[in-house]
Amino acid sequence: MPESIKNLFGNKVRVRACGICVVDNKLLMVNHKHLAENDFWAPPGGGIELYETAHQTLEREFLEETHIKIKPKDLLFVTEFCAEPLHAIELFFEVEWVEGAIRKGADPEMKSEQQIIVDVRFLSWEEIAQMEKNQLHGLFKYVAEPAKIIDLRGYFKL
């Protein structure tokens, strides 16, 4: 993991808001580099800023990462990842795509040469099922098949 990621996100508890956006049986996912050995696919989302609501965070993060406008809906589940130097509590909401064309965005906290977003796209449940578990957000280990992610409820330790 590069020092830039450790310095920005490490050695503190981060509370994040993430969105589950399903359209035509496909899940919107963001591929990140430097968070795993190779690809690391996860639903869009990011850190909640001071005095920002979780819904506001979702709207901002989806615009930054995917260039689409969304409507936050129900809270689905919470995950917690704790492995030095990272500690994240993630609130996962169902979101509805409102408008915009999907294209790869950027992480404003990172310099242009340090960007970690590699790709943004809708992945079919079959594509997700064929990926190695270490290429996917840890929440996928809690479902027998990827399409069941929308049915998850509760707290999950990653």
Interval 17-70: pLDDT, tens: 999 999 999 999 999 986 556 789 999 999 999 999 999 999 999 999 999 999
The whole domain housing 26 covers 3-157
Bridge partners of residue 112, in order along the sequence: none
Pairwise CA distance, residues 120 & 25, whole Å: 16
Bridge partners of residue 45, in order along the sequence: 18
What pTM was estimated for this model as a whole?
Answer: 0.90
DSSP state of 3: H
**For residue 73, pLDDT beyond 70:** yes
CATH number for the domain spanning 77: value is: 3.90.79.10
How many separate domains does the chain show?
A: 1
User: Do residues 5 and 34 touch, judged by C-beta distance below 8 A?
Assistant: yes
**For residue 154, pLDDT beyond 80:** yes
